[in-house]
Structure 1
Amino acid sequence: MVKIVGIGGSLRPNSYSQQALRTAAQRLEKLGGSVEILDLREMTLPFCDGSKAYPDYPDVKRLQETVRQADGLILATPEYHGSVSGVIKNALDLMSFDELAGKVTGLISVLGGQPNSNALNDLRIIMRWVHGWVIPEQIGIGQAWQAFDENGQLVDDKLSERFDRFAESLLLSTQKLAPAKPAENRQAA
């Protein structure tokens, strides 16, 4: 079974980025994938200072180990000032090639204004730099305050269809591109 880890780059309560991440996770699970969401709002992570270890922050090790064991990733970020949130950038900076190389990744950005692809392009560059594989399908949700109903469900059928295509692409691409896990890791996964 394909194991995907989702990471949302927003600390805001009732975050649209988190809602979009949960929507993508639900679509992947319907297709037979396994998804674990690491909620950075519930983790205590330091600012990355380039250290190899952060012994006073056990959540750093949890982040690194969870991502290392995954076959693929979903990264969801709000777009702040034309780029990714500092929260998701810091989480990615706390990892290295050991965790991120070879990870098949789907990208989601959420904006309060008109949709664009700045944050998506920046995440694509970051993942390419650490030798990850980013799927071509991506989701940019503009005017996010109109995209979800009060229960966190998508209100636009075309956007819902994009989430379906996104999930299908991430699952199939991960099955094709994710490096084979050694036998000891397959049993643990």
Structure 2
Amino acid sequence: MSKDKISVIGISGSIRENSYTSAAVELALEGAQEFGAEVELIELRKYELVFCNTEGEDNYPKDVAKLREKVESAHGIILGTPEYHGGYSGVLKNALDLMGFKQFEGKMMGLIGVSGGKMGAINALNGLRVVGRTLHSWVIPQQASISEAWKKFDDKGSLADKDLHKQVKNVGQQLAKFSFLHHSNQAMEFLRLWESAIENPGAE
């Protein structure tokens, strides 16, 4: 796997210190790392970002370019968000608006949502799934929605619920697997041979 080393980044769309969202994304990254991926957690609260304005990019802080470069260089991306009023966070929305196809097209994407209520973060995840498709990302089927997060995490910030722990970690594992398959030399060679194969005359 050394020739096909992949990188996975996790973006936490929460600006709270010691947030449940960041803890969940970090756990998913552990799953990706176990598969052999190089991982990095990006906490948006540590980035100096501005509201998206395409007419003023010359005045953007350096962290905008830094964020774009990190996402662009990754093979797989995990987006984590708290759910606010049935949607994903405004912080994450703005960060996504500051990027585009150059950063996301053709990348694998995994989704994790955290909510304080009983309904979970399904609506936020559905919204992010639309964003992923719009940016031509491959959004994997596996996702994790954590409801009543204040009950599911312990005092140390670890996800104590065993089933959810496994589910969140699986998002990272599956993302890493699909990213590897999508970018491996063997997969690229298969696609090259498939695209150059003679058309099946019986298909007419």
Question: TM-score by structure 2 length?
Answer: 0.83
- Could you list the per-position Cα deviations for residues 75-128 of structure 1 after superposition, in whole angstroms to 9, with x for gaps in the alignment? 000000100100001001000111111110100000000124100000000010
Label 1:179 to 1:64 Cα distance change in 2 as closer, same or farther (>3 A).
farther
Q: Is the 8 A contact 1:71 1:174 kept in 2?
A: yes
Instruction: Choose 1 or 2 for highest CA Rg.
Output: 2
> Which of residues 114, 119, 123 in structure 2 aligns to 1:118?
123
In structure 1, stretches of 5+ residues that fail to align are 181-189
Q: Following superposition of structure 1 onto structure 2, how do residues 39-58 of structure 1 map, counting pairs within 5 Å?
A: 39-51=43-55, 53-58=57-62
2:173 corresponds to 1:168:
yes
2:23 corresponds to 1:14:
no
What SS does the aligned partner of 2:88 have? coil
Could you tell me which residue of structure 2 aligns to residue 134 of structure 1? 139
Higher helix fraction: Structure 1 or Structure 2? Answer: 2
For residue 106 of structure 1, what is the amino acid of its counterpart?
Answer: G
For residue 85 of structure 1, what is the amino acid of its counterpart?
Answer: S
- State the identity as a percent: 42
Label 1:146 to 1:54 Cα distance change in 2 as closer, same or farther (>3 A).
farther
Could you tell me which residue of structure 2 aligns to residue 155 of structure 1? 160
Label 1:36 to 1:109 Cα distance change in 2 as closer, same or farther (>3 A).
same
Could you tell me which residue of structure 2 aligns to residue 183 of structure 1? none
Could you tell me which residue of structure 1 aligns to residue 194 of structure 2? none
For residue 101 of structure 2, what is the amino acid of its counterpart?
Answer: F
Q: Is the 8 A contact 2:50 2:60 kept in 1?
A: no
How far apart in 2 are the matches of 1:99 and 1:116? 25
- Could you list the per-position Cα deviations for residues 114-171 of structure 1 after superposition, in whole angstroms to 9, with x for gaps in the alignment? 1241000000000100101100000000000011111121111111221232222111
Could you tell me which residue of structure 2 aligns to residue 2 of structure 1? 6
Q: Post-superposition, which runs of at least 4 consecutive aligned residues in structure 1 deviate over 3 A?
A: none
Q: Is the 8 A contact 1:106 1:137 kept in 2?
A: yes
What SS does the aligned partner of 1:53 have? helix
- Could you list the per-position Cα deviations for residues 9-33 of structure 1 after superposition, in whole angstroms to 9, with x for gaps in the alignment? 0101221111101111122212211
What SS does the aligned partner of 1:63 have? helix
Aligned residue pair count: 180
Q: Is the 8 A contact 1:7 1:76 kept in 2?
A: yes
Could you tell me which residue of structure 2 aligns to residue 63 of structure 1? 67
Label 1:102 to 1:179 Cα distance change in 2 as closer, same or farther (>3 A).
farther
Question: TM-score by structure 1 length?
Answer: 0.90
In structure 2, stretches of 5+ residues that fail to align are 186-204
> Which of residues 74, 82, 86 in structure 1 aligns to 2:86?
82
Q: Is the 8 A contact 1:106 1:138 kept in 2?
A: yes
For residue 170 of structure 1, what is the amino acid of its counterpart?
Answer: L
